[in-house]
Amino acid sequence: MKQQPDNGEPDIKSLSDEDLKKLATVLNHWTIESELFVRRGKLTRALWQEELEFRQSKKPRRPKEEWDQLWVQHVNDVAEAYGLSLKDVWEMASKIMLEEQRMLSQREILG
C-alpha cells in the first residue's frame, strides 16, 4: 500500500492489483464469517426460546440431533451461496461453535 489520504484510509487508486485481491479475500472471509455468526445466533436463540416454551407449557421440544442437523444445513447453504468448499466453511463454523462454547462456559464459571 502506498500513500494514505488525510482520513487515514488508503487511497484505493494507489493500491496495487495484488493489494486489492488480498483486500477482497479478507472482506469475503469477513462476509462469510458474519453470515455464519448471524445464522448461528438465530438458531441458538430459537433453541433457547423453545426451551423456555417447554419449561412454561411443556410444549414438545426438538431433539438435539435435529438442532445439529439444522446447523449443518445452514453451513452447507453458506458454502453453496458463496461458492466455497464445505471444508473451508466448516473451519469457520467450527471456530464459531468453539467461541459459543467458551462463552457459555464462562457464564457458568461467573454465574
Exposure letters 46-74 (e unless 16+ CB within 10 A, then b)? ebeeeeeeeeeeeeeeeeeeebeeebeeb
Residue 66 has pLDDT above 70, yes or no: yes
Q: 102 lies in a domain? A: yes
CB-based contact 40:71 (threshold 8 Å): yes
Residue 111 has pLDDT above 60, yes or no: no
Q: Which three cell numbers stand for residue 111?
A: 454465574
Number of compact structural domains in the chain: 1
pLDDT at 36: 97
Q: 48 lies in a domain? A: yes
pTM for the complete prediction?
0.76
Show the CA angle centred on residue 109, arms to residues 107 and 111, nearest 5°.
60
Q: Which domain holds residue 92?
A: 12-110
Q: 1 lies in a domain? A: no
